[in-house]
Chain A
Amino acid sequence: MTSIRDRRVVVTGLGATTPVGGTVPETWEAILAGRSGARTMDFDWVSKYELPVTFAALIDTQPIDVLAKVETRRLDPSSQYALIAAREAWADAGAPEIDPERLGAAIGSGIGGVWTLLDQWDVLKEKGPRRVYPLAVPMLMPNGPAAAVSLDLGARAGAHTTVSACASGAESMGYAIDMIRTGRADIVVAGGTEAAVHPLPIAGFAAMQALSTRNDDPAAASRPYDTGRDGFVLGEGAAVIVLESEEHAKARGARIYAELASVGMSADAHHITAPEPNGSGASRAMLFAVERADLAPTDILHINAHATSTPVGDVAEYNAIKRAFGDHTENMSVTATKSMTGHLLGAAGALEAVITILSVHHRLVPATINLDDQDPEIPLNVVKGEHQKLPDGDIAALNNSFGFGGHNVALAVRSY
């Protein structure tokens, strides 16, 4: 019998710029050390607009320290972050020699070039249409980051943008897997990016009471599963993964981190923002991923959860996990790394895919921080205090991402 895994997709490069580090090694080290990336914002617009939330998980390394000055001028921050992560991932993969027509890019974003859009709106109002930057449109368009990465690496098999709010970064992995499995490409550079620490998204998320308002203690604000959780912490950054057909990776002797075995996707069709309380949509995504990875539910030893630290969302995800895995739920080590990185929206799924891949590769699950009093409604086996070892031999893990609009994406990672 043939399986969709007949053409396996493996991970050969990782890149990220995040609130806890300017690279993947820095980010991974910070996460193992349990460091929070949340801090008070010292921008003048915080007090100017009297924002109810005065902190965020801001990018650790400024793009101007990494990119050419002209790149920071001609690209929206969302494209800058994507480019930084993509270059790191590409170098990490050994900058493979490849026919450009066999190389693809898939970079998701939840919000797109919000800084450019709103800055240029200000320019229009204050100075008139002639002063609007001629690159405003290519900078604000949501496919800008995918285009920037495609241009930079010369990826000509296709440049695509997945947009599904906070599942965008994970969905890009699904798109990339399909490109490789259907023979459109041998390598796809896939990921997510977000640069939305801007007064408007903050005001919008705050208006819907989605953000934590723990202004006096930012590092303790993102506390998934804790009874004291009061919303998510907005983060920014990008993560990019080099995905490659196993055949291509082996032929060039590439270092392989893990197999990205499958993606499971579904839609709730329940409510524009609220997750389905019984978790049926999300559980279907997880079970699809397990099945398409040629696994049984009991093979999953670890879940890097979506767990944003909102009162409703964390419970709904638990219900979905329980629905999918039943009694096996208690056997799985679960972690919520947003407790440290904050919520990177359209980059979150890509960043957590990177972390899940490293967890499987190093057989080490990072601990969730700020979990002082676990919600009795969420009796998951959450890793806390110290990171936890995963066993030797063949292992598999899941990474969940959910987005406003009812988008559910689960990625299955198998050790290689």
Chain B
Amino acid sequence: MAQSEQEILDGLAEIVNEETGIDTASVEMDKSFTEDLDIDSLSMMTIVVNAEEKFGVRIPDSEVKNLKTVRDAVTFISGAQA
């Protein structure tokens, strides 16, 4: 079932918070995972795997490097769900 972008953003923010302790409110669409949120590559892999489980999608390893901002991830997940 496809979810709205807001639902995906909220779900992603929860995953980021659980993994890194970053406040969910800080996980905004235009934030960069590495530059703004200071998320390292190990944490990013964990977020990706948790997102796959939560949203029922597959995010190929080759795609992960393209997910620079939160919006990139939300858009990819939304597209994969459609």
Closest to A137 in B: B42
- Can you sample 10 A-B contacts with CB below 8 Å? A69-B18, A70-B18, A70-B21, A73-B18, A73-B19, A130-B49, A133-B46, A134-B42, A134-B43, A134-B46
Question: Which one of B18, B20, B45 lies within 8 Å of A134 (CB-CB)?
Answer: B45
Q: A135 interface residue, CB < 8 Å from B?
A: yes
A31–B42 Cα gap in the complex (Å)?
42
Q: Are A70 and B20 in contact (CB under 8 A)?
A: yes
Nearest-Cβ distance from residue B20 to partner chain A, whole angstroms: 6
A70–B49 Cα gap in the complex (Å)?
17
Please name all residues of chain B whose beta carbon is closer than 8 Å to the beta carbon of A68 when the two chains form the complex. 21
Nearest-Cβ distance from residue A198 to partner chain B, whole angstroms: 23
> For residues 42 through 86 of chain A, which have their beta carbon under 8 Å from a beta carbon of chain B?
68-70, 73-74
Interface string of B30-52 (1 = CB under 8 A from A): 00000000000011011001001
A94–B49 Cα gap in the complex (Å)?
42
Q: A125 interface residue, CB < 8 Å from B?
A: no
Size range of the interface on A?
10 to 19
Interface string of A128-143 (1 = CB under 8 A from B): 0011011100000000
Q: Are A135 and B42 in contact (CB under 8 A)?
A: yes
Closest to B45 in A: A134
Please name all residues of chain B whose beta carbon is closer than 8 Å to the beta carbon of A130 when the two chains form the complex. 49, 52
Q: Are A135 and B21 in contact (CB under 8 A)?
A: no
Query: Which DSSP category, helix, strand, loop or mixed, fits chain B's interface?
Result: helix
A130–B57 Cα gap in the complex (Å)?
13
Please name all residues of chain A whose beta carbon is closer than 8 Å to the beta carbon of B20 when the two chains form the complex. 70
Closest to B47 in A: A134
Count residues on chain B whose CB falls below 8 Å from chain A CBs: 11
Please name all residues of chain B whose beta carbon is closer than 8 Å to the beta carbon of A74 when the two chains form the complex. 19
Interface string of B46-71 (1 = CB under 8 A from A): 10010011000000000000000000
Closest to A132 in B: B49
Interface residues of B (CB under 8 A from A): 18-21, 42-43, 45-46, 49, 52-53
Q: Are B21 and A69 in contact (CB under 8 A)?
A: yes
A146–B43 Cα gap in the complex (Å)?
21
Please name all residues of chain A whose beta carbon is closer than 8 Å to the beta carbon of B21 when the two chains form the complex. 68-70
A70–B23 Cα gap in the complex (Å)?
11
A131–B46 Cα gap in the complex (Å)?
9
A73–B42 Cα gap in the complex (Å)?
14
| Known A70-B20, A73-B19, A134-B42; further 10 A-B contacts with Cβ < 8 A | A69-B18, A70-B21, A130-B49, A130-B52, A131-B49, A131-B53, A133-B46, A134-B45, A134-B49, A135-B46
Nearest-Cβ distance from residue B80 to partner chain A, whole angstroms: 15
Q: Are B19 and A70 in contact (CB under 8 A)?
A: yes
> For residues 122 through 161 of chain A, which have their beta carbon under 8 Å from a beta carbon of chain B?
130-131, 133-135
Nearest-Cβ distance from residue A138 to partner chain B, whole angstroms: 8
Closest to B41 in A: A134
Please name all residues of chain A whose beta carbon is closer than 8 Å to the beta carbon of B45 when the two chains form the complex. 134
A30–B45 Cα gap in the complex (Å)?
44
Nearest-Cβ distance from residue B34 to partner chain A, whole angstroms: 16
Please name all residues of chain A whose beta carbon is closer than 8 Å to the beta carbon of B46 when the two chains form the complex. 133-135
Please name all residues of chain B whose beta carbon is closer than 8 Å to the beta carbon of A135 when the two chains form the complex. 42, 46
Please name all residues of chain A whose beta carbon is closer than 8 Å to the beta carbon of B42 when the two chains form the complex. 134-135
Nearest-Cβ distance from residue A144 to partner chain B, whole angstroms: 14
Nearest-Cβ distance from residue B40 to partner chain A, whole angstroms: 10
Closest to B20 in A: A70
Please name all residues of chain A whose beta carbon is closer than 8 Å to the beta carbon of B49 when the two chains form the complex. 130-131, 134
Please name all residues of chain A whose beta carbon is closer than 8 Å to the beta carbon of B52 when the two chains form the complex. 130
A70–B14 Cα gap in the complex (Å)?
12
Interface string of A156-192 (1 = CB under 8 A from B): 0000000000000000000000000000000000000
Nearest-Cβ distance from residue B17 to partner chain A, whole angstroms: 8
- Chain A CB count within 10 A is highest, among B20, B21, B52, for B21
Nearest-Cβ distance from residue A118 to partner chain B, whole angstroms: 19
Closest to A135 in B: B42
Closest to A127 in B: B53
Please name all residues of chain B whose beta carbon is closer than 8 Å to the beta carbon of A69 when the two chains form the complex. 18, 21
A235–B20 Cα gap in the complex (Å)?
30
A135–B21 Cα gap in the complex (Å)?
15
A224–B49 Cα gap in the complex (Å)?
49
A330–B62 Cα gap in the complex (Å)?
72
Please name all residues of chain B whose beta carbon is closer than 8 Å to the beta carbon of A73 when the two chains form the complex. 18-19
Interface string of A331-349 (1 = CB under 8 A from B): 0000000000000000000
